[in-house]
Amino acid sequence: MTTPTATRPDFEPAPEPRADSARPESGSPARLPINPDPTVAPELQALLDGSNPEFRAAAREFLNDPALYPLPGASLEEHRAHTFANLAAVRDFGGFQQGFQESNGGATNPRDAMTTLEALARVDGSLAIKSGVQWGLWGGALDQLGTERHREWAVGAANLSIPGCFAMTERGHGSDVQSLETTATYDPNTQEFVIDTPSPTAVKNYIGNAANDGRAAAVFAQLITPDSDGRANGVHAFIVPIRDEDGQPLPGIILGDHGSKGGLLGVDNGTIAFDKVRIPRENLLNRFADVAEDGTYSSPIANRNARFFTMLGTLIRGRIGVSGAAGGATQSALTIAVRYANRRRQFAGATGRDKRLIEHRQHRRRLLIPLARTYALQLLHNQILDRYQEQVEQQSSGAWSVTEPTDEHKFAAREMESLAAAIKTAHTTHATRTIQECREACGGAGYMTENRLTTYRADSDVYATFEGDNTVLIQMVGKNLLTAYGRDMADMTPWDTVKYAATTASDVVRRRTGFTTRLQDIRDLVNADSLFDAAYQTRLIDDRAQSVLRSLVRRVQPARKADRIQAAAIMDKCQDHLIAVGWARVDALLIQAMVEAERSLEEGSMARQIMEQLRTLLAFDIITQHAGWYQEHNLLPGGRVKAARAAMNDLVDSLAPWSDVLVDAFGSPAEVTNVPMLTEPGIDLHDTTD
């Protein structure tokens, strides 16, 4: 191995003047040294690790075991058996159990539990999602929706003695959970619920653990009691055993197997239908509602919509967890692709020496621009994890009542729902695009299953649609902004939302809580109009978020005098605008997270200089993607947009020699890069000789 001591000829500075650039902007950052300092990686990793670095270190050590990785070329049955066998190791590691309440043997620490899902997705998506089904969904429903009488079930989920399912989605209803068709009718004569599938569209679909391994399910169904006059009390969750000790379906349980899927081959997704299955009254998960022996229904939350959204609100950790899983898979894919780019030589230049892929500017752009966004997403994800952990601790201590929240807590809960939707949508969309780019960047080698990129791509593809379809979730972000100063979201019908937004156009600009308050603090520090100034970049991106929101409010103004049908039609026509509002909000949050992380580093340090360039690369990517909008609104003239676009080339040129250091900071287990295209005989990773 040849280690450079002075310069790396493959990363010589570009000649001056820059032929491909507009007039240089004032305040542009200096180019980074050509020879990277590997000791910077731990400092960057500390930023990305967030508030639980010790736990992350333990997870990395645990996941460095080759036995926990997928089996290339295995059959469907082998994939499933391999994944289920590895659940025992995940159980023994104990990360997921940290998220359970202390009364159920946990530590009320969802941050570590969700970090476990993120870490598992770095190595095997099937193991991550199989674990998420067992401990996050099935176990999480028992832990979050159950009470003391369900402790034995929760403990069984935690110790893996009761493998289970989360049976919410139906063939005819996915995102529209309130319209589920499965029924749970109470029979006071036997004190049992009768669980039934009334139509083909009510069959539970895509249910993890249903095809092979599940022994019971948390079934979401319309609760009907004698005192409701045949009208359902809304969707509630019930524990329904589905298999006996020999693994055979119980009477009245009809199970199906979805078979091979586009990815996640180790997860046994299947269907569940119920033919008048009877379960004890006590199997109702009754944290938010209960049924007495005589069939009387009661709930501490009187309003039906409020009750429904409160119940689902306790389960939003699934969306945050999927966000982390998408990030983990993306970071592993980038690590492999960047390592390969620094190793693989192709196309001789003027010197006659084959150049590394990373020496080609377009290759630098295709990997380093998404890498900058990956940093921002991880930083924002960590902030949301911390915010969620804080809320859970407040609820656990009694400082925050879920059933009787104050107005302040309602705002906080609404913001958390919006943040969970935003980070899940942004992270999973980015994963789909970036992992595909990594695959293509590695050519034929990237297409070989043995090199793992195709597996990361296939396994992460479904992230865009489960735990909430991204197109639906990003609209939730926009709707939350529309009702920023409104009443409790649980009490608002779609008509109320439209009416409120249309009558308060002057006020619906930005939230005054948490994340956006910090954004305003950054904006206020603008003291220059240099494109490279952090506060100026923040202002440009936040101005767009606010402007797009204000224009949406103006667009729905006609709904003020419309009836409900007309108002719904107006909102449907504005759906594209609502989505744009959500994405603009995401961009504002990402730039804020980068600026805050950068300012936490010592001024003048190499780590801070790197973060400054990554932040600017992200900002310019956002700005140039919306160049037309900025020019239409006279916020940036064409020359400045051109300067930003040219500066992106300078930034990837500057960051390229540090690309290995940048992916080192992801902290992926060493086993991730133990793939043939990086370990087979060939040019040494750090060789700079001809």
Return the pLDDT at 569: 86
Q: Are 662 and 631 in contact (CB under 8 A)?
A: no
Give SS3 for 15: coil
Q: Sorting pLDDT into bands at 50, 70 and 90, what band is 647? A: very high
Residue with token string 């050509």: 34
Q: How many residues does the chain have?
A: 690
Q: Which of 322, 452, 336, 443 is nearest to 381 (CA)?
A: 322
The whole-number pLDDT of residue 529 equals 74
Cα separation, 98 vs 134, whole angstroms: 14
Nearest to 263 by CA among 120, 130, 152, 409: 130
Flag whether pLDDT at 294 surpasses 90.
yes
State mean pLDDT over 577-587. Answer: 94
| 8 Å CB contact between 376 and 588 | no
Domain positions in the chain: 48-163, 165-303, 316-673
Rounded to the nearest 5°, which phi and psi values hold at 284? -70, 125
Is residue 552 helix, strand or coil? helix
C-alpha of 231 from chain center: 36
* 84-88, 236-240, 374-378, 575-579: range with lowest mean pLDDT: 575-579
496 pLDDT higher than 90: no
Number of H helices and number of E strands within the chain? 24, 13
pLDDT of residue 346: 75
Structure-model confidence comparison of residues 527 and 276, the more confident one: 276
Average model confidence (pLDDT) across the chain: 87
Cα–Cα distances in Å, from 401 out to 284, 340, 404, 405? 21, 52, 5, 5
Comparing 586 with 682, the larger pLDDT belongs to 586
Average pLDDT over residues 40-66: 96
The single-letter code of the amino acid at 366 is R
The better pLDDT of the pair 71, 521 is held by 71
- Residue 186 pLDDT > 80: yes
The lowest-confidence range among 2-6, 139-143, 192-196 is 2-6
pLDDT at 688 over 70: no
Instruction: Report the amino acid identity of residue 447.
Output: Y
Strands 183-187, 235-241: pairing is unpaired
pLDDT for residue 396: 85
CA atoms of 66 and 669, how far apart (whole Å): 10
Q: How far apart are CA 70 and CA 457, in angstroms?
A: 13
Lowest mean pLDDT among 19-33, 229-243, 304-318, 450-464: 19-33
Task: Check: CB of residue 68 under 8 Å from CB of residue 89.
Answer: yes
Within 10 A of 251 (CB to CB), how many other CB atoms are there?
9
Using pLDDT thresholds of 50, 70 and 90, give the confidence band for residue 489: very low
Any idea which of 228-237, 324-333, 375-384, 572-581 has the lowest mean pLDDT? 228-237
pLDDT confidence bin for 487, thresholds 50/70/90:
very low
Is it the case that residue 492 has pLDDT exceeding 70?
Answer: no
Question: Could you read off the pLDDT of 426-450 as tens digits, one per residue?
Answer: 999 999 999 999 999 999 999 999 9
Q: Give exposure, 509-531, as e/b (b: 16+ Cβ within 10 Å).
A: bbbeeebbeebeebbeebeeeeb
* The one-letter amino acid at 393: E
pTM of the model: 0.90
Question: CATH number of the domain at 48-163, out of 3.30.1240.10, 3.40.50.300, 3.20.20.70, 1.10.540.10?
Answer: 1.10.540.10
Residue 15 pLDDT greater than 60, yes or no: no
Residue linked to tokens 């967030």: 50
8 A C-beta contact, residue 555 and residue 576: no
Query: Are the C-beta atoms of residues 228 and 196 closer than 8 Å to each other?
Result: no
pLDDT exceeds cutoff 50 at 683: no
Contacts of 548 (CB under 8 A, 6+ apart): 577, 580, 581, 584
The answer to which of 256-260, 408-412, 459-463, 545-549 has the lowest mean pLDDT is 408-412
Residue found by looking up tokens 């676009």 in the block: 645
Least confident of 131-135, 278-282, 407-411, 458-462: 407-411
Helices 534-555 and 470-482: angle between axes, nearest 10 degrees: 90
What are the residues facing 192 on neighbouring strands?
Answer: 187, 280
Q: Comparing C-alpha atoms, which of 280, 42, 287, 8 is closest to residue 144?
A: 287
Architecture of the structural domain at 316-673 = Up-down Bundle (1.20)
How far is CA 679 from its chain centroid?
31
Task: Look at domain 165-303 and name its CATH class.
Answer: mainly beta
* pLDDT score for 519: 61
Contact of 203 with 272, CB cutoff 8 Å = yes
Q: Report the range of poorest mean pLDDT among 136-140, 145-149, 226-230, 271-275.
A: 226-230
Instruction: Using pLDDT thresholds of 50, 70 and 90, give the confidence band for residue 27.
Output: low
